[in-house]
Amino acid sequence: GMDEAPPPASPAGLSAYVAVSQMLGLTLLVTTGAWLGRYRGGVAWHSPLQFNVHPLCMVLGMVFLQGDALLVYRVFRHEAKRSTKALHALLHGLALVIALLLPTGIVAVFESHRAKGIPDMYSLHSWCGMATFVLYLLQWLLGCGFFLFPGASFSLRSRYKPHHIFFGISLFILSIAACLLGITEMLLFKISDSYSHFVPEGILANTLGVLLVAFGLVVGYVLTRDDWKRPPLAEELALSMDFKTLTEGESPGDGSQ
């Protein structure tokens, strides 16, 4: 109606930090593309340049989209909780698809190694990267099971939620760490003789690494500000108590959330 109160404004500074994170994220993608295009021969969907798209897919999926998925609850503060949950899960799922199923994802790495006779899974980058992806997939499946689809009780959701939040942030950090290890590994493989002479490719790749860290820090700052958390809507509180009553057999006044 005409006399309905407008939704409360976002906390001071939140919009600015979110905007900075998006600018850093887009700059990440541009810088990755510039590095691969200028110094690694470009990208293609088929060999021999198929592998070159792997870094771009990892930065797009496991860093940029994952970071945006984590920010969903801060950005869409006044939207329906279920819609926000669905978008959160969708962005994480899209990151998984880009990382694994596209022709340039993780599968392409093993295909490229097999074609060139390079051993698999021997480097620290590969260990960290594969562990991060497997745990990320598990985190996504558990998150959908507990929060997106009906079935889990209120107490089970409440007990799991802190773990879900902790591992979500941890996997974001691990994804950035794996990217940094991958950049270093690629530079040492490709330009080991000239890297120490501050050649342009080395400087550009180092800049990409700094941008990855900066993106992670900005997203992490937004996520760890308690006063920037999404406030529950009035109808969500009522539904939460009703859900607790149905699943736990308690009255709405029993216990605490």
- Classify residue 243: in a domain, yes or no: no
The model's pTM is 0.86
Q: Closest Cα partner for 96 from 62, 47, 142, 52?
A: 62
Distance of alpha carbon 184 from alpha carbon 60, whole angstroms: 18
Specify the DSSP class assigned to residue 61.
Answer: I
**Is 257's pLDDT higher than 50?**
no
Distance of alpha carbon 229 from alpha carbon 73, whole angstroms: 7
Specify the DSSP class assigned to residue 227.
Answer: G
- Classify residue 219: in a domain, yes or no: yes
**What pLDDT, in 10s, does the model give residues 57-116?**
899 999 999 999 999 999 999 899 899 999 999 999 999 998 876 545 576 677 767 777
Domain count, the chain: 1
Better pLDDT: 55 or 171: 171
Helices (H) and strands (E) in the chain, counts: 9, 0
pLDDT recorded at residue 21? 98
**Beta-carbon count within 10 A of 119 CB:** 8
Full residue range of the structural domain in which residue 195 is found: 14-233
- Classify residue 240: in a domain, yes or no: no
Residue 162 identity (one-letter amino acid): P
Residue 98 sits in a domain whose CATH number is: 1.20.120.1770
Distance of alpha carbon 58 from alpha carbon 175, whole angstroms: 9
- Classify residue 3: in a domain, yes or no: no
**What pLDDT, in 10s, does the model give residues 167-218?**
999 999 999 999 999 999 999 999 999 999 999 999 999 999 999 999 999 9
Residue 75 identity (one-letter amino acid): V
Better pLDDT: 226 or 242: 226
When the pLDDT of each residue in the chain is averaged and rounded to a whole number, the result is: 86
